[in-house]
């Protein structure tokens, strides 16, 4: 869990990011989950679009996706969700929040 200040810093970092994927009517497919997991490993912070066709509430869908990715939901703003997971790689500069 993040403190409110940490969450605000991560949201600020993600504000200029473009979404790297989208969850649609098919939900979270294995290929999408693998792609997002790889992106989290490389970037640590990602933004995903939750399309209305996914059917579920954005917060609920984001929580399910975070559990699948072993990540933390930073925020859900409208139909955009921001996720954070610390990378296991040692050769990158880790996000300091």
Q: Are strands 21-23 and 45-50 parallel, antiparallel or unpaired?
A: parallel
- What local confidence, expressed as pLDDT, does residue 86 receive? 93
Of 52-56, 58-62, 83-87, the range with the highest mean pLDDT is 83-87
- What local confidence, expressed as pLDDT, does residue 28 receive? 87
Average pLDDT over residues 63-67: 94
Say which CATH topology domain 4-84 has. Answer: Translation Initiation Factor IF3 (3.30.110)
Model confidence at 90, pLDDT cuts 50, 70, 90, reads confident
Model confidence at 55, pLDDT cuts 50, 70, 90, reads confident
> What mean pLDDT is reported for the chain?
92
Of 44, 42, 97, 43, nearest to 71 by C-alpha is 44
> Is there a contact between 89 and 80 (Cβ–Cβ < 8 Å)?
no
């Amino acid at each position: 869990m993040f403190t409110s200040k940490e969450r605000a810093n991560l949201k600020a970092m993600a504000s200029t990011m473009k979404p790297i994927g989208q969850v649609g009517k098919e939900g979270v497919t294995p290929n999408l989950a693998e792609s997002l997991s790889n992106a989290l490993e490389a970037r640590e912070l990602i933004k995903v679009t939750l399309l209305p066709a996914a059917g579920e509430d954005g917060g609920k869908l984001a929580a399910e996706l975070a559990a699948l990715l072993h990540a933390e939901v930073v925020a859900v703003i409208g139909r955009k969700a921001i996720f954070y997971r610390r990378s296991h790689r040692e050769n990158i500069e880790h996000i300091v929040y």
